[in-house]
Amino acid sequence: MVDATPPDLTADAPPKAQKPKNKLFTIIKVVASLGLITWIVSTANLTDVFAALKAVDVRWLLFAVCLQFVGAGLISLRWKGLLAVQSVTPGWLYLYKSCLVANFFRQFLPSIIGGDVIRGHDAWKAAAPWPVALMSLLLDRLLGLLALALLAMVAVLFSDDMSEKLPGLQIWLAAAFVGLSLVLSFLLLPRRNGATKLSLPSFVPGKVASKLASIGEAMTMYKGHAQALWRGIGLSLLLQINVVTFYWALGQSLGLPVDYTSWFVIAPIAIFVMMVPLSINGIGVREAIFIFLLAQWGVADSTALALAWLEYGIFLAFGLVGGVVYMLRKT
């Protein structure tokens, strides 16, 4: 796990990498992943799992792989628009390669932080001040999660039996949507009297106050750029539809009896759960959440486990593509 200290937002260069400060947390995550995956494999019928994998429809599988490249393209386009607001205009292909490389580091490092550091560094190299680079990534991620929660809420509202399959789902989705919306509003709404810096008590140490003030100023950099933000929201919705379609395609490749609309609920829940830092890159948690969710649609544990492994295999292969890009691109 890369446990870096917060960067100096007033600096002209990206922060230096820091050594992990909490190895115990990483060890706990490793143990959790190993424990979960060992328990799941020991209770699964591996013969049925491999039979399901062997019977995969390759056409649907290739379609799912192609959607990963489409998704990276949409992320790059959204990121490009967010950087352009601050007059940072790298080419789309440059940002696309950065997303691919970031995915390589995300898959092969025990934390999503590695990928964000790569993208932040690439934005800085493209002439983005470090606060701009950080804020663009934060907003990029928030817009994606907000769109995901919104699509899931709409899917639940138009479903007749979703509440029976997953009781209390509406409350959790509404809470996630409201929470993300509040965070987004806090970052984007102007301060009173046009202030761009946080008002801090006098007892806050000078260095801490300086950094927090810089963060407060960075939070207002997208004020007055509603058009760019709406464009980002639109691209986020397209991106999350692409994500849901990816999972639906995986389900189709395995012949799962799950309709397209249901994946608008299954995929967001699985993604939100896998984001919780309880394991190494979601290993163990991924298998458990898909087994639980798909069981509500009558999918056997072995088939759900096959889907989880298919998904992870595609993510690893896609990450390796980013590794090749990393080796070939100019530094």
pLDDT at 243: 95
Cα(14)–Cα(117) distance, integer angstroms: 9
Question: Would you state the structure tokens that stand for residue 299, as one six-digit string?
Answer: 């999918």
Helix (H, G, I), strand (E, B) or coil at 205: coil
Listed residue (192, 314, 200) closest to 249, CA to CA: 314
Instruction: Compute the average pLDDT of residues 58-79.
Output: 96
Listed residue (245, 265, 263, 279) closest to 112, CA to CA: 279
32 pLDDT above the threshold of 60:
yes
204 pLDDT above the threshold of 60:
no
- 3-class secondary structure per residue, 72-101: HHHHHHHHHHHHHCCCCCCCHHHHHHHHHH
Contact 318, 105 (CB under 8 A): no
pTM for this model (two decimals): 0.80
pLDDT at 113: 55
Cα(49)–Cα(47) distance, integer angstroms: 5
If pLDDT is split at 50, 70 and 90, which confidence band does 9 have? very low
Instruction: Compute the average pLDDT of residues 161-188.
Output: 71
Instruction: Compute the average pLDDT of residues 140-154.
Output: 84
Cα(330)–Cα(57) distance, integer angstroms: 38
194 pLDDT above the threshold of 50:
no
Q: Which stretch of 109-118, 143-152, 155-164, 205-214 has the lowest confidence by average pLDDT?
A: 205-214
Q: Which helix (H) or strand (E) holds 223?
A: none
Contact 285, 278 (CB under 8 A): yes
Instruction: Compute the average pLDDT of residues 116-143.
Output: 88
Q: In whole angstroms, how far apart are CA 160 and each of 149, 267, 297, 305?
A: 19, 18, 14, 27
250 pLDDT above the threshold of 90:
yes
Phi-psi region of 315 (alpha: psi -120 to 50; beta: other; left: phi over 0): alpha
pLDDT at 11: 43
If pLDDT is split at 50, 70 and 90, which confidence band does 97 have? very high
Q: Which helix (H) or strand (E) holds 55?
A: none
Question: Would you state the structure tokens that stand for residue 233, as one six-digit string?
Answer: 């929201």
Contact 18, 3 (CB under 8 A): yes
Helix (H, G, I), strand (E, B) or coil at 7: coil
Average predicted confidence (pLDDT) for the chain:
80
Cα(253)–Cα(271) distance, integer angstroms: 20
Q: For residue 190, what is the DSSP state?
A: P
Q: Which helix (H) or strand (E) holds 182?
A: helix 169-188
Q: In whole angstroms, how far apart are CA 54 and each of 50, 51, 80, 283, 316?
A: 6, 5, 40, 22, 19
If pLDDT is split at 50, 70 and 90, which confidence band does 235 have? very high
Higher pLDDT, 153 or 271: 271
Q: What Rg value do the Cα atoms of the chain yield, rounded?
A: 21
Boundaries of every domain in the chain: 43-167+223-328
Q: Which stretch of 22-31, 49-58, 253-262 has the lowest confidence by average pLDDT?
A: 22-31
146 pLDDT above the threshold of 70:
yes
Contact 214, 274 (CB under 8 A): no
Helix (H, G, I), strand (E, B) or coil at 114: helix
Cα(20)–Cα(4) distance, integer angstroms: 7
193 pLDDT above the threshold of 60:
no
Listed residue (71, 78, 121, 133) closest to 100, CA to CA: 71
